[in-house]
Chains A and B, each alone.
Chain A
Amino acid sequence: AQKITQTQPGMFVQEKEAVTLDCTYDTSDQSYGLFWYKQPSSGEMIFLIYQGSYDEQNATEGRYSLNFQKARKSANLVISASQLGDSAMYFCAMREDEPGNTPLVFGKGTRLSVIA
């Protein structure tokens, strides 16, 4: 069974600073995908970034990058140059790469607060 652990219930970061949100996972699958989603106070789930287990390079999307360490089973999200609008809940998720798309398993999330 897959499991996602996010050990930081809440984080604070100063505006314009970088912040790392931790995510560790557990799976017996060899092929899987890792996702990060942002959930602002309005409630919607916004897809941020994806990392495949066989991708050799860490994924990057604008100010978001994923620090993927396969041996440690960690997939930390790095947000550079934090903005006030980054204040939200952040969820790490994974799915196995079965034929046909599979559901996501989510962690409990980290609430990020950006301070001016």
Chain B
Amino acid sequence: DSGVTQTPKHLITATGQRVTLRCSPRSGDLSVYWYQQSLDQGLQFLIQYYNGEERAKGNILERFSAQQFPDLHSELNLSSLELGDSALYFCASSVEGRRDEQYFGPGTRLTVT
């Protein structure tokens, strides 16, 4: 158990809908990262938050947004869903100053039908 929690574990929804994925980092970790794993694109970084502020942005679509709350949990919002958004979405966390760590949550498997 990495200490990073993600809910829900599975999500099935229809095209055009909007969903919210939730992540709680390990205790003490201020950085939260979101990654998308799909068959055609592999593992891609989406966005990073540090202590409530956006720190880095990767290949995140405009239809996607995220935020990190004062209690450090983070939410990834996916809207106007398309079939191609079906993927495994991971949240990871790390503590500032520890370059050798980045622990992943169990992931949320999103299926868009």
Contact between chains at B45 and A105 (CB < 8 Å): yes
Would you call B104 and A101 a contact (CB within 8 A)? Answer: no
CB of B102, distance to nearest CB on chain A (Å): 6
| A102-B56 in contact (CB<8A) | yes
B contacts with A, residue count (CB < 8 A): 29
A33-B100, A47-B102 in contact; A101/B31 too (CB < 8 A)?
A: yes
Closest to B95 in A: A101
Cβ–Cβ contact B107 & A47, under 8 A: no
Cα of A108 to Cα of B41 in the assembled complex, Å: 9
Interface size on A, residues (CB 8 A): 24
Q: At the interface, yes or no: B55 with Cβ under 8 Å from chain A?
A: yes
The answer to whether A108 touches B42, judged by C-beta atoms less than 8 angstroms apart, is: yes
| Chain A residue at smallest Cβ distance from B56 | A103
CB of A62 to closest CB in B, whole Å: 16
Q: Are B90 and A45 in contact (CB under 8 A)?
A: yes
**Known contacts A33-B99, A109-B42; A47 and B104 CB within 8 A of each other:** yes
Q: How far is the CA of A108 from the CA of B42 in the complex (A)?
A: 6
On chain A, the residues within 8 Å of B58 by CB distance are 103
Among residues of A, the one whose C-beta sits closest to the C-beta of B109 is: A43
Flag A95-116 by CB within 8 Å of B: 1 or 0 each: 1010011111111110000000
Which residues of chain B from 84 to 113 have any CB-CB distance to chain A below 8 Å in the complex? Answer: 88, 90, 92, 94-96, 98-104, 106-107, 109
- The reply on A25 being an interface residue by CB < 8 A is no
79-98 of chain A: CB within 8 A of chain B? 91, 93, 95, 97
How far apart are B98's CB and chain A's nearest CB, in angstroms? 7
Q: Sorted from nearest, which 9 A-B pairs have the closest CB atoms?
A: A45-B104, A106-B43, A103-B45, A50-B100, A101-B94, A44-B106, A101-B31, A108-B42, A33-B99
